[in-house]
A and B are shown apart, each in its own frame.
Chain A
């Protein structure tokens, strides 16, 4: 039980870090009107956010 809970916490923490990083990248890219900022938004920000959401969902399902 305790092991399960700590595994869940670990996954949530990983999801949190990924989401915070992804959202930070997204907000930075939105203040820059350049093609590179679009790539930054999609490739870096988008991927980090999607990865964070997936890890969160996996944590919920496997909890």
Chain B
């Protein structure tokens, strides 16, 4: 929908610019000058700002993250048929939105978390195009419990189950990582050896 809105603004701008080029005499009148200002200045700025916002929104989609071939094994790991694999269990059971799966877990839930995620994305682009792909992909910093607790805090299965209840302070303060126990994550090194779920989109 937003794409259509931007496309409409762009089409309108191009049509008006074309018209002004074909009939430059229009700009002699006051109204023509206004039309020129809208076509040459206002509409292109509106289109560019809206377009950038759509691109930023698109960049949070699963399809966007997995469109780089280096990420494709991570995408396959979402279909591992074993509930012990945390990303796969979250993805297959709709605990995270399927169309924003990567972003939901890998953004920082802080004031500038989304901005940081976008900056890291630009860094990924730089590495993707201008540097050799690293043999093993790794996070810039250890995965923080904050990202898990953003959803799980106050959730019954987390709050009332053992050992979460007993270790709540350590988990909240990040003293102990969630991944200490929930250690099966993407495991891309063994991706070919794992059985896959044949669910929708597989």
Contacts and interface: CB of A to CB of B under 8 A. Distances in A.
B54 interface: yes
A9 B24 contact: yes
Contacts of A24: 10, 14
A31 B6 CA distance: 11
B34 interface: no
A45 B44 CA distance: 10
B44 A16 contact: no
Contacts of A31: 3
A23 B68 contact: no
B6 A27 contact: yes
Given A20-B18, A33-B58, A41-B55, A26 B48 contact: yes
Interface residues of A, number: 30
B21 interface: yes
Given A16-B17, A16-B21, A56-B41, A30 B67 contact: no
A46 B51 CA distance: 10
A46 B24 contact: no
B179 interface: no
22 contacts: A12-B20, A16-B21, A19-B44, A20-B18, A23-B44, A24-B14, A26-B47, A26-B51, A27-B6, A33-B63, A35-B59, A35-B64, A35-B124, A35-B128, A38-B125, A41-B51, A42-B52, A42-B55, A45-B51, A52-B40, A52-B44, A57-B41
Interface of B: 3, 6-7, 10-11, 13-14, 17-18, 20-21, 24, 36, 40-41, 44-45, 47-48, 51-52, 54-55, 58-59, 61, 63-64, 67-68, 121, 124-125, 128
Interface of A: 9, 12-13, 15-16, 19-20, 22-24, 26-27, 29-31, 33-35, 37-39, 41-42, 45-46, 49, 52-53, 56-57
